[in-house]
Amino acid sequence: MANVDTVLKQATTTIEGALGAALVDYGSGMALGIAGGGKDLDLNVAAAGNTDVVRAKVRTMELLNLKDEIEDILITLGGQYHLIRLLKGRGAQGLFLYLALDKQRANLAMARHQLKTIEAELEI
């Protein structure tokens, strides 16, 4: 098991094309930890903005009476992928991992697989 900072650093260093990662509480919109990012990718702004995306999807699923769980949400931009993975483990309710990827360098399928593996190592 690894702590938040270790897991986020691992995400940004081992996932090809990773630009930044954050662990986010979608109840408050606050980033509980960030790694990477920079002047072109403010991870605190991304955390707050993507909280609205997660809340909207959760609310929509409830309205549709879908009895399923969200694994991840993908937002595809011209030059980037933004991957949101809702956490499911004990103590992780209401949290998601956010990963921004450079579209030219990233392998989306591998990034999803690696993010799932990293989630399993996370200790909250």
Task: Write the pLDDT tens digit of every residue in 9-22.
Answer: 999 999 999 999 99
**How confident is the model at residue 90, as a pLDDT?**
63
Percent of the chain residues past pLDDT 70, beyond the cut: 97
The CATH code of domain 4-99+116-121 reads 3.30.450.30
Q: What pLDDT, on a 0 to 100 scale, did the predictor assign at position 73?
A: 96
Instruction: Encode pLDDT of 20-68 as tens digits.
Output: 999 999 989 999 999 999 888 999 999 999 999 999 999 999 999 998 9
pLDDT for res 51: 95
Domain ranges of the chain: 4-99+116-121
Q: Are 71 and 85 in contact (CB under 8 A)?
A: yes
pLDDT in tens, 69-111: 899 999 999 999 999 999 986 667 789 999 999 999 999 999 9
Element (H, E) at 5: helix 4-14
The 10 Å CB-count burial string (b at 16+, else e) for 17-28 is: bbbbbbbbebee
At residue 72, the pLDDT reads: 94
